[in-house]
Amino acid sequence: MFYIIIQKEEKKIKDKKIVVIVLTAIFALVVLYLVYNKMNFQPAKNSGETVSEEKPNNPVFLEEPVIVNGDFEQGALGWNNSYAVQEEETGNHCIMNNASWEIRQEMNLLPHTTYQMNIQTKKGTAEGPARVVFTFHDVNGNMLPKYYDIRHTHAGTGWEDIPQQYVAIPNKAAITKIYLLTSDAKGYHYFDNIKITRTSAVGDRKDLQTDQNEVLTNGDFELGLFGWVGDASFIKEEDDNRFLRNGYNWSLYQQLEVEPEKAYMISAKTRTPDSRVATRIKVIFLDEQGQRIPEFYNIVRTHANNEWNNVAEVIKIPAGIHQVRIYLLANDDTNPVACDFDDISMKLATDAELKDLTRAQTGDSRGYLGNHTEYIVKPGDTASAIAVQLGVDLDELIDANNISNPNNLEAGQILYIPEEK
């Protein structure tokens, strides 16, 4: 009996619910009809009276940051490590990390658009710079060749703004990942107030890249380190002009997509405060696995003065190569002098440029690691330990392999071991 009563009561409730649902649906339809008519109502046009339609002049961009919980006031929401979130004495929340790749967030950013990055960092116990890395992945989760590795050297012990950076999302990117970490294997730094905001319409790069024939991005450095990998402190300003200043340091470069077996012209303006220290632009080539091949170019220039000097060189892309990496640095590992670089360009060379430049070039810039051996880095390896083990000069090993941090090598990385002289 009790079971039958329950069934009847449930049937009554069910019938009442049906009536309520029907009435709600009718009411919603009426509201939608009224809203639709109001939105589409247009006043009648009188003779001699023009009714103009307002059209937006500028595209609508995202005004709110697209990253989740960039101030960490909601704990680890959006991030994948709750233990890294810290609370300061002031009650402010931030995140702390060492060289681990665990502190990250995945974002669905629009392909072929540009985003602006603003981040604050505070020095911890790590000696090296703070590091912000962006990687891009396709719909299958495969990592794309392009990435950003932005580094910031702290000036003090308080919170600092990493200079504003721009990040261009590749066409095939479905997922963008941001990592917050340090450059050193030991120690940690703090991060807070992370904002990633869209600054262009889809496909609109006119404000960032005016020359469609240009392969290299932001060669005049007016957009800071946009397009480059390196430390934000490398960007300097003089008479309202931005340029890059770097010593003997392999942490500054840009990776580009090129056409195999094509000739490209590299041009630049370089300057050195000491005529004994030459400027250097090194170009290396990467295979499909991202490993370097033995062929390379060393474009070294000495200067008789400390004024800006023009540099021009033609390089030939080897067969089967689609990726190159360009380094800008001083050509002296024994001198602390830093050299200046500006207006870096790389374009397909025209026939006229090929004739003019190849006559002037001596061919000394083109290099090949001849009778070399290869060494695959194992976990825990350092450049100094490898040099001792194989009996080679440490400085030559670093220079031949463009090693930015001799104490932090990537396992699986292939090193070219220079032959004994």
Enumerate residue ranges in the chain where pLDDT < 50. 1-14, 16-17, 20, 35, 38-63, 205-207, 359, 362
Tokens found for residue 381: 């390896």
Sign of CA dihedral 57, 58, 63, 66: positive
Q: What is the pLDDT of residues 359-411, one digit of tens each?
A: 455 456 777 666 678 888 888 889 899 889 888 888 888 888 888 888 878 78
Reported in sequence order, the residue ranges of 214-291 that DSSP labels E, i.e. its strands, are 230-231, 235-238, 241-246, 253-257, 263-271, 279-286
Q: What is the pLDDT of residues 7-19, one digit of tens each?
A: 343 344 345 445 5
Q: What does the mean pLDDT of the chain come to?
A: 81
Asked whether the beta carbons of 101 and 107 are under 8 A apart, the reply is: no
pLDDT number for residue 4: 35
Q: Which of 376, 413, 372 lies closest to 396, judged by CA? A: 372
pLDDT number for residue 129: 92
Find the angle CA(148)-CA(149)-CA(152) to the nearest 5 degrees: 135
Beginning with the edge strand found earlier in the chain, give each strand of the sheet holding 130-137 in spatial order: 104-107, 175-182, 130-137, 143-152, 230-231
Asked whether the beta carbons of 341 and 246 are under 8 A apart, the reply is: yes
Phi, psi of 45 (to 5 degrees): -85, 125
Calculate the CA 336 to chain-centre distance.
Answer: 27
Reported in sequence order, the residue ranges of 349-386 that DSSP labels E, i.e. its strands, are 366-368, 373-376
| Residues pairing with 266 in the sheet | 313, 346
| Residues pairing with 162 in the sheet | 119
What residues contact residue 128 under an 8 Å CB cut-off, 6+ apart?
153, 182, 183, 184, 187, 405
List of domains in the chain: 59-203 (2.60.120.260), 209-368 (2.60.120.260), 373-417 (3.10.350.10)
Q: Which of 421, 229, 131, 404 lies closest to 413, judged by CA? A: 404
Tokens found for residue 334: 């024994």
pLDDT number for residue 291: 85
The type of residue at 116 is Q
pLDDT number for residue 42: 43
Burial of 252-280, coded b for 16+ CB within 10 Å and e otherwise, reads bbbbbebeeeebbbbbbbbbbeeeebbbb
Maximal CA-CA distance, the chain:
107
Q: How far apart are CA 405 and CA 413, in angstroms?
A: 13
Calculate the CA 419 to chain-centre distance.
Answer: 35
**C-beta atoms surrounding 69 within 10 Å:** 17
